[in-house]
Amino acid sequence: MATWLITGCSTGLGRALAHAVLAHGHNAVVTARDVASVEDIAADHPDTALAVPLDVTDRTQIASAVEQAKARFGGIDVLVNNAGYGYRAAVEEAGDADIRRLFDTNVFGTVDMIKAVLPDMRAQRSGSIVNISSIGARIKAAGSGYYSASKAAVEGLSGSLHKELQPLGINVTVVEPGAFRTDFAGRSLTQSAKPIEDYAETAGKRRKENDTMDGTQPGDPAKAAEAIIAIAESPEPPALLVLGKDAFGAFAAVAEYERTDLDAWRDLSLSTDL
């Protein structure tokens, strides 16, 4: 039995993962900004679940959540940084406050959660950190520049962290989901307040009022949850896991495009050495 701390459990993947972890017989600290939204999960598993309020932009709440997890279950074996949200805007359209709020949640919230659990994981020379990213970090769609950048930052951080922690017995995995049947493209999605007409045919097509994806996504959150549990329980978990046929196909297409571009400009690239 392992103890998991999962951020962002009120809906979507986080909620599905909380249910799956508990069904597998593990302990779970289930968190949300509004703790009332996850108290039903804890009520169904009174011996193995703990509902805790957690806004990942609040370091006091982060410290409290970790301490409550340790007091109840003795420690944290698996941290899943799932809390986050989408933001759509052309790069020029985005409001400064919106950008900072997005990065405070998606990037610095992840950083602060990691730093809160690492001292104990290092002491016990074991643990697993799963950072939920997005295929958006790779495909960089028009209108998702800031969201893609926030997830790319998480991936860059995670890659270095993986190399730093692997010798200490701690694993780090980035999960890149495609489109899953959650409210990510619905209630949770935010966007710039003032669209610019010149971007109507690029970023504008992905604004909420023009997007028909919500409710039609191909991915099953319950199956994604099982996949995340599988990597956490694996003796040799991957550094990167892509989830969904759409994400797998997009990943392959981007890799092929980048290789073609690399080869096309090979001579110029190699011409700059002394």
pTM: 0.93
Q: Render 145-192 in DSSP notation, one character per residue.
A: HHHHHHHHHHHHHHHHHHHHHGGGTEEEEEEEE--BSSSTTTTT-EE-
Q: What is the pLDDT of residue 212?
A: 62
Q: Which of 104, 216, 89, 108 is nearest to 148 (CA)?
A: 89
- Domain containing 157: what range? 3-85+96-183+221-270
**How far is 160 from 219, CA to CA, in rounded Å?**
29
Q: What is the pLDDT of residues 34-75, one digit of tens each?
A: 999 999 999 999 999 999 999 999 999 999 999 999 999 999
- Catalytic residue from among 133, 134, 144, 158: 133
**How far is 227 from 173, CA to CA, in rounded Å?**
12
Q: What is the pLDDT of residues 142-164, one digit of tens each?
A: 999 999 999 999 999 999 999 99
* Catalytic residue check, 85: no
Residue at 202 is within a domain: no
**Tokens 């193995």 correspond to what residue?**
48
Q: What is the pLDDT of residue 122?
A: 98
How many domains are contained in the chain? 1
Residue at 205 is within a domain: no
Residue at 75 is within a domain: yes
Q: What is the pLDDT of residues 184-205, one digit of tens each?
A: 655 678 889 899 999 999 999 8
Residue at 189 is within a domain: no
* Catalytic residue check, 223: no
Spatial CB neighbours of 153, under 8 Å, sequence gap ≥ 6? 103, 106, 107
**Domain containing residue 8: CATH number:** 3.40.50.720
Residue at 195 is within a domain: no
Is there a contact between 80 and 8 (Cβ–Cβ < 8 Å)? Answer: no
Residue at 141 is within a domain: yes
Average model confidence (pLDDT) for the chain?
Answer: 94
Answer yes or no: is pLDDT of 29 > 90: yes
* Catalytic residue check, 151: yes
Residue at 123 is within a domain: yes
Q: What is the pLDDT of residues 105-145, one digit of tens each?
A: 999 999 999 999 999 999 999 999 999 999 999 999 999 99
Q: What is the largest CA-CA distance in the chain?
A: 67
- Catalytic residue from among 87, 146, 147, 199: 147
Residue at 258 is within a domain: yes
Q: What is the pLDDT of residue 160?
A: 98
- Catalytic residue from among 151, 158, 192, 199: 151
Is there a contact between 172 and 131 (Cβ–Cβ < 8 Å)? Answer: yes
Question: In which band, very low, low, confident or very high, does the pLDDT at 209 lie, cut at 50, 70 and 90?
Answer: confident
Is there a contact between 191 and 217 (Cβ–Cβ < 8 Å)? Answer: no
